Amino acid sequence: MTIIKQNALKNIHLTCLPAKLHNRPEKIPEAVRKKIHAAREKYSKILVLYGDCGTSGMLDTVLQEEQVERIPGPHCYAFFSGQERFTQLMDDDPTKFFLTDFLARHFDTLIVAGFGLERSPQMKELLFGNYRSVVYLAQTRNEELMRYAERAAQRLQLPLEVIDTGYGELEQFLNSKT
């Protein structure tokens, strides 16, 4: 995950988990726990910038046990766009497939290869057949990322909508904790 402006990070050390864990959310909680344990002696404050991301509350159980706070929300789409705005987007049309800057850039690796769409093209219809559009929640306005988002929408054969979100509630959360 790419996080906000450099000057806002001067006192923050960012440690990431492999993005492919989103395809196996049951592995997220213990992976986060390992990162927390590795960071405990080095840092005075640990924050988790991860939504629930399909863990069905298991991540929150680990964080409660470890006494670590995370950004509120079910996933990064909600905290980048703002939870109220995301809820409204879904209420308006629940058939949207969302992209972030990271997912746009790594769509082929995480989605195409991650779900084996090249090997099994019929999987595209099974996985994405109910989506009616791709919504790119752009944290940064960047021509290269826009091309990646356009390519992802083309691969799914869906229209693309772009919403400039900035870092939304992620930036607010970090600013309130640092």
* Predicted model pTM: 0.84
Query: Which residue is listed with tokens 């306005």?
Result: 141
Phi, psi values for residue 59, rounded to 5°? -65, -45
| Domain spans of the chain, in order of start | 6-75+168-177, 80-164
Classified as helix, coil or strand, 33 is: helix
**Beta pairing class for 69-70 and 96-99:** unpaired
Q: Which amino acid is at 73?
A: G
pLDDT per residue rounded down to tens, the chain (178 residues): 334 444 455 677 888 899 888 889 999 999 999 999 999 989 889 999 989 999 999 999 999 999 999 999 999 999 999 999 999 999 999 999 999 999 999 999 999 998 999 999 899 999 999 999 999 999 998 999 999 999 999 999 999 999 999 999 988 888 888 7
Distance of CA 158 to the CA centre of its chain: 20
Q: How many C-beta neighbours within 10 Å does residue 34 have? A: 11
